[in-house]
A = this chain, B = another copy of it.
Amino acid sequence: MDFAGAHILSIEQFERGDIDTLFRTADRMEPFAQRRRVTRVLEGAILGNMFFEASTRTRISFGSAFNLLGGEVRESVGAESSSLVKGESLRDTARVLSGYSDVICMRHPQAGSVAEFASASRVPVINGGDGSNEHPSQALLDLYTIERELQARGRHIDGLRIAMIGDLKYGRTVHSLSKLLTLYRNIRVVLVSPPELAMPEAYVEALRTAGHEVEVTESLEQSISRVDIVYSTRIQEERFQDRSQADLYRGRFRLNQAIYTRHCEPNTVIMHPLPRDSRAEANELDADLDSNPNLAIFRQTDNGLIVRMALFALILDVAHLVDQYAREVPWFNHRNR
């Protein structure tokens, strides 16, 4: 694909070469994200950060990524934005708002809304999440994290062994990640969930068609024993039609350090799309994993920043100019403490 001027609406637009282009650009953004250097390449450019549904961390991650390239951010959040569109078509909104900025990031609760908006926008639009449909930058930062974690262990995405755990039926992140994995070779995917929340068959089929090995199980312990990555997601009780069913699974997909030590290979990476529910009754990741160096959940959000910087740099066609507009950082660099 040609990134310059493109909308980023779905991970389906990416081929493997595009992912490579994006990830190698992301690598070059890291020094700026870590404030070892400052670049001003987008000085004067404006991001329209249009969150028709609240999502603090995604919104701020996009905004900071744009600031880190030197640009300005105008934004709108939640309730205010939705009142805006009372009776106004998304196309009208897009025509108007796209006159105010150079690129738009948009989140909206309705599936397909971002694509409709993009069709009338005069500037490139990045999908920041449209309901149950797509959230491409999340999938890309997950895959980028997998690549980096594997690299540090002398491995590659080709040949990956990964367990996906939790709500695989409604979990947008595991769907998108599954799709991206079909671009790679020789992968083993272990799917762990209550049967009620199993991965939809279409995703399983796509993985198998790509030549990957897919195993389905209900046993957490078994699934995590021979994988490189454990990707855990939240099970929301309200997903069960019969709430008493939820009790059956309470705690069964919760990973803690003791289980990790007993069952995982050394260096198995733990991922999670965050936020993580840290309350005792949650079916997720225990806080006692926080001192485990293989817990990659905060490296994921850090990687999100640089993947989003890379998306902006490619869409606005300045990736090759980032260093030319670079400067030294005169302030105290906390990341070097």
Query: Is A291 among interface residues, defined by CB-CB distance under 8 A?
Result: no
Query: Given A67-B74, A74-B67, do A92 and B275 touch, yes or no (CB 8 Å)?
Result: yes
Can you spell out 10 A-B residue pairs with CB atoms less than 8 angstroms apart?
Answer: A40-B43, A41-B331, A54-B83, A57-B84, A72-B73, A86-B275, A87-B282, A88-B276, A315-B332, A316-B331
Query: Given A74-B73, A275-B84, do A331 and B318 touch, yes or no (CB 8 Å)?
Result: yes
Query: Is A112 among interface residues, defined by CB-CB distance under 8 A?
Result: no
Residues of A participating in the B interface, judged by any CB pair closer than 8 Å: 4-5, 35, 38-46, 48, 54, 56-57, 59-61, 63-64, 67-68, 70, 72-74, 76-81, 83-89, 91-93, 95-97, 99-102, 122-124, 274-279, 282, 287, 290, 298, 301-302, 305, 315-318, 321, 325, 327, 329-332, 334-335, 337
Residues from chain B with Cβ under 8 Å of A87 in the complex: 275, 277-279, 282
Q: Looking across the interface, which residue of chain B has its beta carbon closest to that of A45?
A: B331
Q: Looking across the interface, which residue of chain B has its beta carbon closest to that of A304?
A: B99
Residues from chain B with Cβ under 8 Å of A60 in the complex: 48, 74, 76, 97, 100
Residues from chain B with Cβ under 8 Å of A277 in the complex: 86-88
Residues from chain B with Cβ under 8 Å of A39 in the complex: 44
Chain B: minimal CB distance from A103 (Å): 8
Name which of A59, A76, A290, A332 has the most chain B CB atoms within 10 A of its CB.
A332
Chain B: minimal CB distance from A327 (Å): 7
Report the Cα distance A274→B41, complex, angstroms: 34
Residues from chain B with Cβ under 8 Å of A330 in the complex: 41, 318, 321, 325
